[in-house]
Amino acid sequence: MLIHSASQLLTLAGGPQRGRALGTLGVIEKGAVLIRDEKIVQVGPTAELKASYPDEPSLDATGCVVMPGFVDPHTHLIWGGDRANEFEMKMAGARYLDILASGGGIISTVRATRTASIESLIAQTRPRLIRMFAHGTTTAEAKTGYGLQTATELRLLKALLALDDESPLDIAITFLGAHAIAPEFKDDPQGYTDLVCETMLPMLKEWWGTHAPKLTLPFVDVFCESQAFDLKQSRQILTKAGSLGFPLKIHADEFDNLGGASLAVELGAASADHLVKTSDADMAALGKSDTVAVALPCTPFGLAEKDYTPAHKLIEADAILALATDCNPGTSWNESMQFSIALACRYMGLTPAQAIAASTINSAHAIRRSDTIGSLEAGKQADLLILSVPDYRHLGYRYGTNLVKQVIKHGRVYSVDVGYYRSA
């Protein structure tokens, strides 16, 4: 198939964009892209590709922007229940950490998730995946972490594998058994840390080898934060995970600067995420590493906080900056990367071009898939968006509506309507 006559075709070619290079879109006016066997074969001007492939089945993108599909590198996609009551409490002035300390927050969702069957978890998660896909996310990371006990964490993994099989959207799975201290270990956080290291992680590796032997091991993540896992405990968990061959991620500096970002760099983690309270020293370390700095602007927005990830400091430090939704039931129930882009432009000071690069090629690198997705280049997976706008700057400029007209996933075209997708 030849997609042709795009007002602007954004290639994002050349690999992850570091520091001041962020925002290099590789725009081709009146661009075209040739797809065969689920892969991109060639990208270039429409006149050139039409002349080379005159008999190719075609899709006319006149008046539209064509670009890579969004990659959402940080979500807590699978959970049971909701926390609408806590939203009301937060809007009345309660702090998130206070709600967590009183048994709410993550622990509230843990209670609902532990009692949910795998069928219920899949049924509750499926509509979120559909909304993500309809808004242009073609690959998303998804974490466990609302079980905090071995049996429930494995049930969440099994549900995510089933959803990955059924959905056109690809899922990169992360194990987050260290999301919070399990309620039964409230007075023994080190005991729970030891349980994650000595029981959960070895069992996970054995389980994965049986249930998903053709897939690479999932990421292992830890919530390095006050009232969760301190720096020593986070190091213990990630070091153990690394020794077992798991790739690593970390939640760091959302509320307090504990040094989690520098730990991520030291251990070679794929990403350090949140980074609202990150120190200059930690940002300098990120700038000298391949660890991606993932900003989650929907989270401070959802909490009505005033502080966001200091994007310009990270750019000046030469870091690789990415964006994600942090889709979760407590602080950011949002499935749209378009909205993350709009917030990043307003509250992090990014240009639309920078936010787009952070949501495609850099976010693909945050889940270590930038060699196959995140840009429109020959040999890469044919994951594209056709936006119903003539100029890429409408992303960021507009919000609260869906600009995606069609999603191309693995070379297959889906026409998008609000709330669902259907094959075109």
Residue-level pLDDT at 212: 96
The CATH code that applies to domain 70-366 is 3.20.20.140
User: Can you give the pLDDT at residue 91?
Assistant: 85
pLDDT (0 to 100) of residue 329: 96
User: Are 20 and 54 contacting, i.e. CB atoms less than 8 angstroms apart?
Assistant: no
pLDDT at residue number 14: 97
Residue 374 tokens, joined: 């995140």
pLDDT at 422 over 70: no
Question: Which stretch of 98-102, 147-151, 199-203, 229-233 has the lowest confidence by average pLDDT?
Answer: 98-102
Domain with CATH 2.30.40.10 in the chain: 2-69+372-423
Residue 419 has a pLDDT of 40
Mean pLDDT of 325-339: 97
- The alpha-helical segments, DSSP class H, found in 252-407 are 260-267, 280-287, 298-302, 311-316, 337-347, 352-358, 361-366, 394-397
Over residues 53-81, mean pLDDT: 97
| DSSP label at residue 310 | -
CATH of the structural domain 2-69+372-423, one choice from 3.40.190.10, 2.30.40.10, 3.40.50.1470, 3.30.230.10? 2.30.40.10
**Does the structure show a pLDDT above 70 at 420?**
no
Q: 418 falls in which pLDDT band (50, 70, 90)?
A: very low
What pLDDT digit, counting tens, does each position of 379-411 carry? Answer: 999 999 999 999 999 999 999 999 999 999 999
Query: For residues 82 and 25, is the Cβ–Cβ distance under 8 A?
Result: no
Question: Cα Rg for the chain, rounded, in angstroms?
Answer: 21
The pTM for the full model equals 0.96
> What number of other Cβ atoms are within 10 A of residue 419's Cβ?
10
Say which DSSP state 20 is in: G
According to CATH, where is 3.20.20.140 located in the chain? 70-366
pLDDT mean over 305-312: 97
Q: Is the pLDDT of residue 376 over 90?
A: yes
417 band by pLDDT with thresholds 50, 70 and 90 = low
Does residue 421 carry a pLDDT above 60?
A: no
Is 205 within 8 Å of 244 (Cβ atoms)? yes
Q: Please report, rounded to a whole number, the percentage of residues in the chain having pLDDT higher than 70.
A: 98
